[in-house]
Structure formats: structure tokens, C-alpha cells
């Protein structure tokens, strides 16, 4: 796990080593164990190393191939690299190290990029330069666990694991991408490949791009090599066969991701997904270290009183005999960390992510690798109160309209013009419904069953919501030099989940529940009490590994009691940041409209916790990224 960067000058101007080093220094937190650079004329590659596999100098990057034709800079882990190495050795390939980097380099150069990517089981982003053909390949893993950004500006093509590497280029113009801002304030996410900075894009998950310097007008040409495909099986197995296969594949996925030359731990939130991962890992990794963040609930009320899951985590720690660590977050912790959080997060994304920052900070004090329970919900139907809003439709367009209406998480489409009045003339051509519909690249014009629509919803959320969660997971773990692994995103397990019948994931397809997305915990609690649904096959199988009371409990998200804090202990902070006349958000947003929405929450009239968090996050982002220099944020260390 590392940080990668690089640049190419189209006019043939030589890459300056100091510039390349500045780009790598901007992401030094991703690789505190070393740095490396390779420069040849107008091409330069940089690397920051977090040593996980093969801690020797043999894993140093950028790495040059045996024949000296190829150079790679790589971030990630291939969990099947040992099997791939055996195959390559049978073909006569020789190796100088034990690293997965050398296996990746040999696989791509021996088999070609398409075949190699199809065989890789892991999380990765890499750049490979072909010195003879003068082409650059950028690639990202199937699911988007590892990010990779690129930009073309001023005759220079640049890329990096984080936007900060690109922004460190001298003279790079920082201009707010206003359409992307509207996209964020519609979905609390960015579905397209853009970012909040013009000219910087994220390479889509499951894609690679080729930049040919021999072309008359070089540009990165993208190819999609993999995509999610949730569909009902043509020849379904018996129900028990599905359960047995899930049990086998889940065990296999967790054990694959225990490969490391450094100490490994696991998050343990108190829920089923992280608990199941910890249960399997503990069988092979005695006294594994586990980590939980809880919340001070002295000022919480109502449903938020259930947000602290420390007691459940402690119980499972006792059950699995882990070495357990926990910390308690208070209202002031959000205020204290926000500048540094915005700096590392780089782009606002889904959810209120500061608890994840603290969880990673805690884990990084004890281990260099941590297992995460992310993706269990997206693969096995963890949000039925969302899917069921769109299971009865006239046709696909009707489905999109209904689902799009629900996914307007922050500012509804009807209010965008009012809220963004200062910039509306610049962005009024942006129709977020088209962005939403564009996620569904492959679909039937006519869908016939609830299962069809739910599979489309699973696809949509894996492409958008899960991707946002993964971006957050990567940025906030790597902020502390911590590698986060996602066992649910093992290739074999994902393939199984996409072919698992919906009826085994969700038992109550006819139950349509109208719930408020702004009420975390409440919507799931109500739904679960009515139906006892949610990830049913996963619950059936995990009942073999974790305590029954955890398996049978209602789903609980990892969320702080912000609804109470924003109008209680943090009210002065919210007012100071969002209601002052010189707030940066009012350069692009209507002060009257925004203050009206904020005051509705502060008065208790509405719960707008997601919007207030997003406004705070964007305010901090504007302060961090649209001011002059990309200097390190000031905040907690």
C-alpha cells in the first residue's frame, strides 16, 4: 500500500526531479517507509512506500522490468500474487524479489493488460510506462478500492493517488468545478468521474487508460474491463447449496487477505459484517487486535441513544479473544478535526466521515493493516428501505424517476436554483437526473419483476454509494499510514453475490416502507421490526460464526449523534461556520436559502444533519483547496 504519482510534458520538456519530488511529498503520509523516483526526459514516475509485503529493498519502486523496457509505480495488494507467480514462473519468467509489485509488472508485460487485469484479485492502482512504445497505462481495480486521479493542463499530463499530488504542480490552476458541486449537493456524492477541481478526474473503477505519446493529440483513452452485473441465476441452486457456498467463499476471502509481513488487525463495530470478518480472522490469527469507536451520548436523545455499539463490540471481543482497543468521540472532536479531515478527504463524499478518521487513527497506533466490513451491505441487500421505493414501476424510465427522487439526499432538484442562485447561470445546463440515469449503462428497457428492479438498485449502489465509501475509507486510513482491506470485495465472493437470488437476500419484497433518509438507525430499526429482513442469507451463514444476538439484531450504521450535537453542544460551531456573512460557501450559495435550511434544524423543525455536515465539509474544503498553497492543514495530529 503506497502512494503513486507521475507527470509527462507533451512538449518534450524534461521533467524536473524537484517537481516530481514535490508531488510525492504532498502524499508522503501514504508512504512513510520510503520514496523512489524514475525520470527519463519528459516522463517521470514517483512513489511513496508503505511496506506491507516484502519489506526488503527488493520491493522498492518505481520498479523496472528485467528487460528494462517497462517501469511501474503501483499502489495496492494482489491477494493471489503467489498463484500468479507460479504460473509466470512456469512460462519462464524470473523474479528478483518476493513482492507482489514484481508479479504485477511481469503479469502485465507477459500477458497483456486485459488478461492480467482479468486475473488480478485485489485492490490496486498503477501506472506502467512502456519506454519503447512510449505509452502510459493507468489502471484501477474492479471495485475502486484504490483511487487514482489524473489531469491534463498546460501541456502537462499528471496523475496521483490523491489530488494533492497534482495540485502540487507549480502553476496548476485551481478552479471550482461548479457542476460537480451541484452534483454533490444533490446526491451527497459525485457519480461522474469529475471532482470539485476543474481538469482533475478520477479514473473510473474497473477501467484502464492508455496515453500514447506518439499520437498527434495525446489523450487518455479509457477502456472498461469489468463491471458489476447483478442478475437472477438461470438455473438456481438449492437454498442450502447457496448457504454452504457463501460460507466457503467468505472464509476463503478473509483468509486470503491475511497475507502480510506486518501486524494486522480488524475493525469491530459491534455489527454482523465486521464481527464475522473478525471471527474468521481470529481462527488463523490468535489474539488479533480489534478497534472500535463509540460516542458520548450524554446529550443524545431518541434513536441516537442506540448509536454507541461499544458494549456489543466488547462482547464479541471477549467471544473471539481479541486484543481490543476503543475510543469515545464527543461533539468537540468533530470541530477539532474538520480542517485536517477536509485536507485528507480532498472531496466531500457520502456520510459523516469523521468517526472513520478517528477509527483509523486508533488502529494505526497498533497495526499497519486493518480489515474492514465495507461492501457487505451493497452486495447482500443491506438497504431494503431504499430498494423497495422503486419495485413497482411502469418501465425503466419510471423506475429511474422514482429512485432519483429518493436519492436527492441534500438539496432537492426543485430547490437547486434558489440555493445556488449566485452561480446558477453558470450551471443551469446541469441536469442531475441525466447524471443519475447515466449510471445505468446496461439495462433492459422493460423490467418485469421486483427482483429485476432490486438488482438494478444493487448495481446502482455498488457503482455510486459503495464507491464513495471506498474513497473515504482509502483517504482516511492512508492519512495515518494504515492499509485498509475489504474482504467482502474478493473476486470470487463478489461473483457469488451478484448471482445470488434476491429472495435469499430479502424476504419481504412486497413490503414498501416510507422512511426518512436523514434518520440513521431509525429507518432500519422500523423496517427490521416490521419484516426481520436485511441480508438474510448472510445472517443465516454468519449465525455459525458470531453470537446469535448480533446476527438477529437490527442493522445499525456507524454514525455519531450529530442531529443532537448540531443543535446542542456544537450549535455555536455550526453558527460560527455557516451563518456568518463571510462564510466561503456564500460565494456559490444563496445566504438566505442556506440559513433558512440550517435554522430549520437548529430550531428542531427538521432534521437536516446530512446537509449541515455537508455544508461544514464544503466550507472547510473551500478554505483548504481554493486558497493559494497546498500546505498541510492545521488540526489534530
Q: Is residue 254 one of the residues assigned to a domain? A: yes
Residues 476 and 583 in one domain: no
Provide the pLDDT for residue 297: 66
* pLDDT score of 631 more than 60: no
**For the chain, how are helix, strand and coil distributed in percent, rounded to 5?**
45, 15, 40
Q: What is the pLDDT of residue 527?
A: 59
Same domain, 327 and 246: yes
Q: Minimum mean pLDDT among 439-443, 544-548, 574-578: which range?
A: 439-443
Confidence of residue 388 (pLDDT cuts 50, 70, 90): confident
**Confidence at residue 630, expressed as pLDDT on a 0 to 100 scale:** 40
Statement: residue 564 has pLDDT above 60 = yes
The verdict on 54 and 185 lying in the same domain is yes
The span from the CA of 348 to the CA of 341, in Å, is 10
How many CA within 13 A on the CB side of residue 360?
23
- Evaluate if residue 605 carries a pLDDT over 90: no
* Mean pLDDT (whole number) for 228-242: 95
Domain extent, residue 100, equals: 2-224
Q: Average pLDDT in the 151-158 region?
A: 96
Q: Kindly state whether residue 455 falls inside one of the protein's structural domains.
A: no
pLDDT digit string (tens) for 34-69? 899 999 999 999 999 887 776 777 778 999 999 999
d(CA 296, CA 395): 47
Q: What is the pLDDT of residue 183?
A: 95
Q: What is the CA radius of gyration of the chain?
A: 24
SS3 category, 8: strand
Q: List beta partners, residue 5.
A: 46, 160
| pLDDT(524) > 90 | no
pLDDT value of position 532: 62
| Range of lowest pLDDT (134-138, 527-531, 565-569) | 527-531
Does 207 map to a domain? Answer: yes
Query: For residue 62, is the peptide bond before it cis, meaning its omega torsion is within 30 degrees of 0?
Result: yes
pLDDT tens per residue, range 301-324: 454 445 667 888 999 999 999 999
Q: For residue 500, indicate whether it is catalytic.
A: no
Confidence of residue 511 (pLDDT cuts 50, 70, 90): low
CB-side exposure of 121: number of CA atoms within 13 Å? 21
Rounded CA-CA distance 51/54 in Å is 7
Residue 485 sits in the same domain as residue 569: no
Q: What is the CATH number of the domain that holds 42?
A: 3.60.20.10
- pLDDT score recorded for residue 517: 47
Of 190, 224, 258, the residue at which a domain comes to its end is: 224
pLDDT at residue number 637: 33
Strand bridging mode 264-267 / 289-295: parallel
Domain termination residue (choose one: 174, 193, 224): 224
- 434 in a domain, yes or no? no
For 414-455, how does the pLDDT look when each residue is reduced to its tens digit (9 = 90+)?
A: 899 999 999 998 887 778 899 999 999 877 766 778 899 999
State yes or no: pLDDT of 629 exceeds 90.
Answer: no
Q: State how far the Cα of 541 lies from the Cα of 250, in Å rounded to an integer.
A: 9
The H-or-E segment that residue 77 falls in is strand 70-78
Domain boundary among the residues 224, 250, 278 is at: 224
Are residue 540 and residue 595 in the same domain, yes or no? no
pLDDT digits (tens, 9 = 90+) for 321-361: 999 999 999 888 999 999 999 999 999 999 888 999 999 99
Q: Which of 2, 279, 359, 611 is catalytic?
A: 2
Mean pLDDT confidence for 153-165: 97
Lowest mean pLDDT among 500-514, 571-585, 601-615: 500-514
Q: Three-state SS for 632?
A: coil
Dihedrals φ, ψ of 171, to 5°?
85, 5
Mean pLDDT of 255-279: 93
User: What per-residue confidence (pLDDT) applies to 427?
Assistant: 81
Q: Are residues 102 and 214 in the same domain?
A: yes
Same structural domain, 154 and 248: no
- Rounded mean pLDDT of 518-542? 69
Residue 568 scores a pLDDT above 60: yes
| CA 636 to each of CA 332, 357, 572, 624, 632: distance values in angstroms, whole numbers, following the listed order | 12, 11, 20, 15, 12
Same domain, 19 and 167: yes
pLDDT tens column, 167-215: 999 999 999 999 999 999 999 999 999 999 999 999 999 999 999 999 9
- Asked if residue 309 and residue 191 are part of one domain, the reply reads no
Q: How many domains, the chain?
A: 3
Average pLDDT, the chain: 89
Instruction: Name the band, by pLDDT with cuts 50, 70 and 90, for residue 137.
Output: very high
Q: How sure is the predictor about 504, in pLDDT bands with cuts at 50, 70 and 90?
A: very high
Interstrand relation of 207-212 and 200-202 (parallel, antiparallel or unpaired): unpaired
Express each pLDDT in 67-108 by its tens digit. 999 999 999 999 999 999 999 999 999 999 999 999 999 999
Indicate the SS3 state at residue 39: strand
Which CATH number goes with the domain that contains 244?
3.40.50.620
Q: Are residues 205 and 334 in the same domain?
A: no
Question: What's CA 452's distance to the chain center, in Å?
Answer: 26
What confidence score (pLDDT) does residue 513 get? 42
Q: Look up residue 581 and give its three cell numbers.
A: 456573512
Residue 516 has pLDDT above 80, yes or no: no
54 and 198 in a single domain? The answer is: yes
Pairing of strands 70-78, 135-140: unpaired
Instruction: Write the DSSP string, 100-162.
Output: HHHHHHHHHHHH-HHHHHHH--EEEEEEEEETTTTEEEEEE-SS-SS--EEEEETTEEEEESS
Cα–Cα distances in Å, from 351 out to 38, 65, 444, 607, 616? 38, 42, 31, 15, 13
Whether 554 maps to a domain, the answer reads yes
In a domain, residue 430? The reply is: no
Q: Please tell me whether residues 214 and 259 are part of one structural domain.
A: no
Amino acid at each position: 500500500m503506497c502512494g503513486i504519482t507521475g507527470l509527462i510534458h507533451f512538449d518534450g520538456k524534461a521533467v524536473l526531479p524537484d517537481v516530481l519530488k514535490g508531488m510525492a511529498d504532498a502524499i508522503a503520509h501514504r508512504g512513510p517507509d520510503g520514496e523512489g523516483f524514475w525520470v527519463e526526459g519528459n516522463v517521470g514516475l514517483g512513489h511513496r512506500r508503505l511496506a506491507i509485503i516484502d519489506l526488503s529493498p527488493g520491493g522498492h519502486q518505481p520498479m523496472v522490468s528485467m528487460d528494462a523496457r517497462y517501469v511501474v509505480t503501483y499502489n495496492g495488494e494482489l491477494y493471489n500474487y503467489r498463484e500468479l507467480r507460479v504460473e509466470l514462473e512456469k512460462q519462464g519468467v524470473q523474479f528478483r524479489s518476493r513482492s507482489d509489485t514484481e508479479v504485477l509488472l511481469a503479469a502485465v508485460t507477459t500477458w497483456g493488460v486485459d488478461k492480467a487485469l482479468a486475473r488480478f484479485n485485489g485492490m490496486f492502482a498503477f501506472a506502467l510506462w512502456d519506454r519503447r512504445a512510449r505509452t502510459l497505462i493507468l489502471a484501477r481495480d474492479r471495485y475502486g478500492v484504490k483511487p487514482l486521479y489524473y489531469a491534463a493542463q498546460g501541456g502537462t499530463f499528471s496523475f496521483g493517488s490523491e489530488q494533492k499530488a497534482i495540485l502540487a504542480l507549480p502553476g496548476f490552476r485551481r478552479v471550482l468545478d461548479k457542476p460537480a458541486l451541484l452534483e454533490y449537493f444533490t446526491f451527497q456524492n459525485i457519480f461522474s468521474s469529475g471532482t470539485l477541481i476543474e481538469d482533475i478526474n478520477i479514473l473510473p473503477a474497473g477501467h484502464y487508460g492508455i496515453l500514447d505519446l506518439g499520437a498527434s493529440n495525446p489523450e487518455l483513452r479509457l477502456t472498461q474491463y469489468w463491471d458489476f452485473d447483478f442478475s437472477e441465476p438461470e438455473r438456481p441452486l438449492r437454498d442450502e447449496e447457496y448457504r454452504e457456498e457463501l460460507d466457503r467463499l467468505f472464509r476463503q476471502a478473509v483468509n486470503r487477505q491475511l497475507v502480510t509481513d506486518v501486524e494486522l488487525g480488524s475493525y469491530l463495530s459491534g455489527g454482523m459484517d465486521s464481527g464475522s470478518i473478525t471471527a474468521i480472522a481470529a481462527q488463523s490469527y490468535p489474539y488479533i487486535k480489534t478497534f472500535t469507536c463509540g460516542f458520548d451520548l450524554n446529550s443524545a436523545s431518541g434513536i441516537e441513544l442506540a448509536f454507541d455499539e461499544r458494549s456489543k463490540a466488547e462482547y464479541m471481543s471477549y467471544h473471539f479473544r481479541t486484543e481490543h482497543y476503543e475510543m469515545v468521540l464527543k461533539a468537540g472532536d468533530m470541530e477539532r478535526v474538520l480542517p485536517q479531515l477536509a485536507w485528507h478527504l480532498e472531496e466531500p463524499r457520502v456520510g459523516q466521515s469523521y468517526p472513520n478518521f478517528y477509527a483509523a487513527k486508533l488502529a494505526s497506533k497498533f497495526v499497519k493493516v486493518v480489515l474492514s466490513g465495507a461492501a457487505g451491505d451493497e452486495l447482500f441487500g443491506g438497504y431494503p428501505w431504499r430498494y423497495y421505493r422503486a419495485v413497482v414501476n411502469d418501465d425503466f424510465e419510471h423506475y429511474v424517476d422514482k429512485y432519483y427522487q429518493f436519492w436527492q439526499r441534500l438539496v432537492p432538484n426543485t430547490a437547486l436554483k434558489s440555493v445556488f442562485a449566485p452561480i446558477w447561470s453558470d450551471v443551469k445546463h446541469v441536469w442531475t437526473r441525466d447524471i443519475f440515469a447515466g449510471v445505468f449503462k446496461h439495462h433492459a428497457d422493460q423490467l418485469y419483476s421486483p427482483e429485476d428492479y432490486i438488482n438494478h438498485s444493487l448495481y446502482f449502489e455498488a457503482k455510486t454509494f459503495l464507491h464513495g465509501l471506498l474513497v473515504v475509507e482509502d483517504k482516511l486510513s492512508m492519512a495515518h499510514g494504515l492499509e485498509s482491506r475489504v474482504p467482502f470485495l474478493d473476486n470470487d465472493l463478489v461473483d457469488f453475490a451478484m448471482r445470488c437470488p434476491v429472495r435469499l437476500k430479502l424476504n419481504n419484497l412486497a413490503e414498501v416502507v416510507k422512511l426518512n433518509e436523514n434518520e440513521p438507525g431509525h429507518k432500519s430499526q422500523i423496517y427490521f421490526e416490521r419484516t426481520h429482513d436485511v441480508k438474510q442469507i448472510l445472517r443465516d451463514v454468519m449465525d455459525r460464526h458470531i453470537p446469535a444476538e448480533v446476527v438477529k439484531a437490527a442493522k445499525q450504521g456507524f454514525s455519531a449523534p450529530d442531529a443532537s450535537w448540531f443543535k446542542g453542544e456544537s450549535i455555536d460551531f455550526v453558527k460560527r461556520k455557516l451563518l456568518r456573512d463571510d462564510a466561503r460557501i456564500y460565494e456559490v450559495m444563496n445566504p438566505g436559502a442556506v440559513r433558512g435550511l440550517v435554522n430549520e434544524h437548529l430550531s428542531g423543525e427538521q432534521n437536516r444533519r446530512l446537509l449541515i455536515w455537508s455544508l461544514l465539509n464544503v466550507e472547510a474544503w473551500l478554505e483548504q483547496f481554493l486558497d493559494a498553497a497546498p500546505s498541510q492543514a492545521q488540526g489534530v495530529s
